[in-house]
Chains A and B, each alone.
Chain A
Amino acid sequence: MTFLGFIFAQGLSALSQAAILFFIASGLTLIFGIMRIVNFAHGAIFMLGAYVGFTAAALTGSFLLSLLLAPIVVGVVGMAFERIFLRPLYGRRDGGAYLLLTFGLAIVLNELIRVIWGPQPLAAGIPDLLRGVVIVLGQPFPLYRLFLIALGVAAAIGVWQFLERTRAGLLIRAVSQNAEMVHALGTDVDLVRTGVFGLGCAMAAVGGVLAAPLVTAFLGMGTTVVIDAFVIVIIGGMGSFLGSLIGSILVGFVQVLGAYYFQDLALAFMYFLMLIVLVIRPGGLLGKED
Chain B
Amino acid sequence: MVPKSWAGFCERLMLNAASGAGYRFEETSSRSLVDWRIGFAATAIIGVLMPFVLPQYSLTVLIEALIFGLLAMSLDLLVGYCRLYSFGHAAAYGLGAYSAALILTQLQLPLPAGIALAVLVTVVAAVPIAWICTRSTGVSFAMLTLAFAQLGYAMLFRFRDITGGSDGIVGIPRPAGPFGMSWFQGKTGYYYLVLGCLLGAYLLCRAIVRSPFGAVLAGIRENEAKTIALGYNTRAYKTATVVLAYGFGGLAGALYAAFAGFASPELFFWLVSGRVLIMVVVGGAGTLIGPILGGVFFVFLEHELSQVTDLWPLIFGSIFMAFVLFAPEGIWRLLTIRFKAVPDVPTADPSKKKSDAAA
| Chain B binds chain A | yes
* Residues of chain A at the chain B interface (Cβ within 8 Å): 38, 85, 88-97, 99-101, 103-105, 107-108, 110-112, 115, 223, 227, 230-231, 234, 238, 264-265, 267-268, 271, 274-275, 278-279, 282, 290
Which one of B64-72, B93-101, B315-323 is at the A interface? B315-323
Query: In the complex the two chains form, is A290's CB within 8 Å of B138's CB?
Result: yes
Which residues in window 283-317 of B have CB below 8 A to A? 311, 313-314, 316-317
A38-B139, A111-B313, A275-B132 known; A93+B354 contact, CB < 8 A: yes
A92-B351, A282-B136 given; 16 more Cβ-contact pairs under 8 Å: A38-B142, A85-B321, A91-B355, A91-B356, A94-B83, A99-B139, A100-B320, A104-B318, A105-B321, A108-B314, A111-B317, A115-B314, A223-B270, A265-B154, A274-B144, A279-B132
Residue of A nearest to B350 (CB): A93
Kindly state the separation between the CA atoms of A180 and B139 in the bound complex, as whole angstroms. Answer: 23
Give the top 9 A-B pairs by smallest Cβ distance, nearest first: A91-B358, A107-B317, A91-B355, A104-B321, A111-B314, A108-B317, A93-B351, A264-B158, A267-B154
Query: In the complex the two chains form, is A108's CB within 8 Å of B318's CB?
Result: yes
A91-B359, A279-B132, A282-B140 known; A99+B320 contact, CB < 8 A: no
Kindly state the separation between the CA atoms of A271 and B83 in the bound complex, as whole angstroms. Answer: 24
Query: In the complex the two chains form, is B143's CB within 8 Å of A231's CB?
Result: yes
Please give the distance in Å from A82's CB to the nearest CB on chain B. Answer: 13
Kindly state the separation between the CA atoms of A268 and B142 in the bound complex, as whole angstroms. Answer: 18
Please give the distance in Å from B346's CB to the nearest CB on chain A. Answer: 17
Query: In the complex the two chains form, is A268's CB within 8 Å of B151's CB?
Result: yes
Query: In the complex the two chains form, is A101's CB within 8 Å of B324's CB?
Result: yes
Kindly state the separation between the CA atoms of A257 and B265 in the bound complex, as whole angstroms. Answer: 26
Query: In the complex the two chains form, is B354's CB within 8 Å of A234's CB?
Result: no
Kindly state the separation between the CA atoms of A10 and B146 in the bound complex, as whole angstroms. Answer: 29
Which residues of A lie under 8 Å from residue B83 when comparing CB positions? 94, 96
Query: In the complex the two chains form, is A99's CB within 8 Å of B142's CB?
Result: yes
Kindly state the separation between the CA atoms of A105 and B351 in the bound complex, as whole angstroms. Answer: 22
Which residues of A lie under 8 Å from residue B135 when comparing CB positions? 278-279, 282
By DSSP majority rule, is chain B's interface helix, strand, loop, or mixed? helix
Please give the distance in Å from B66's CB to the nearest CB on chain A. Answer: 24
Residue of B nearest to A287 (CB): B140
Query: In the complex the two chains form, is B321's CB within 8 Å of A111's CB?
Result: no
Query: In the complex the two chains form, is B139's CB within 8 Å of A271's CB?
Result: no
Which residues of A lie under 8 Å from residue B351 when comparing CB positions? 92-94, 97
Q: Tell me the number of A-to-B contacts counted with CB atoms below 8 Å.
A: 122
Which residues of B lie under 8 Å from residue A90 when comparing CB positions? 358
Query: In the complex the two chains form, is A92's CB within 8 Å of B154's CB?
Result: no
A97-B328, A103-B277, A108-B314 known; A264+B140 contact, CB < 8 A: no
Please give the distance in Å from B51's CB to the nearest CB on chain A. Answer: 34
B155 at the interface (CB under 8 A from A): yes
Kindly state the separation between the CA atoms of A38 and B87 in the bound complex, as whole angstroms. Answer: 13
A88-B325, A115-B311, A264-B154 known; A96+B85 contact, CB < 8 A: yes
Kindly state the separation between the CA atoms of A274 and B150 in the bound complex, as whole angstroms. Answer: 14
0/1 string, B119-145, CB within 8 A of A gives 1:
000000000000010011111101110
Which residues of B lie under 8 Å from residue A89 when comparing CB positions? 325, 355
Query: In the complex the two chains form, is B143's CB within 8 Å of A230's CB?
Result: yes
Kindly state the separation between the CA atoms of A40 and B318 in the bound complex, as whole angstroms. Answer: 16
Which residues in window 55-107 of B have CB below 8 A to A? 83, 85, 87
Residue of B nearest to A230 (CB): B143
A-B contact pairs, 26 of them (CB 8 A): A88-B325, A88-B359, A91-B359, A92-B351, A93-B350, A94-B328, A96-B83, A96-B138, A99-B85, A99-B139, A99-B142, A103-B87, A104-B324, A107-B317, A111-B313, A111-B314, A115-B314, A230-B146, A238-B139, A267-B151, A268-B151, A271-B147, A279-B132, A282-B135, A282-B136, A282-B140
Kindly state the separation between the CA atoms of A94 and B354 in the bound complex, as whole angstroms. Answer: 10
B217 at the interface (CB under 8 A from A): no
Which residues of A lie under 8 Å from residue B325 when comparing CB positions? 85, 88-89, 101
A91-B357, A230-B143 known; A278+B136 contact, CB < 8 A: yes
B355's partner among A92, A268, A279, A282 (CB-CB below 8 A) is A92
B25 at the interface (CB under 8 A from A): no
Please give the distance in Å from A66's CB to the nearest CB on chain B. Answer: 26
Query: In the complex the two chains form, is A107's CB within 8 Å of B138's CB?
Result: no
Query: In the complex the two chains form, is A271's CB within 8 Å of B151's CB?
Result: yes
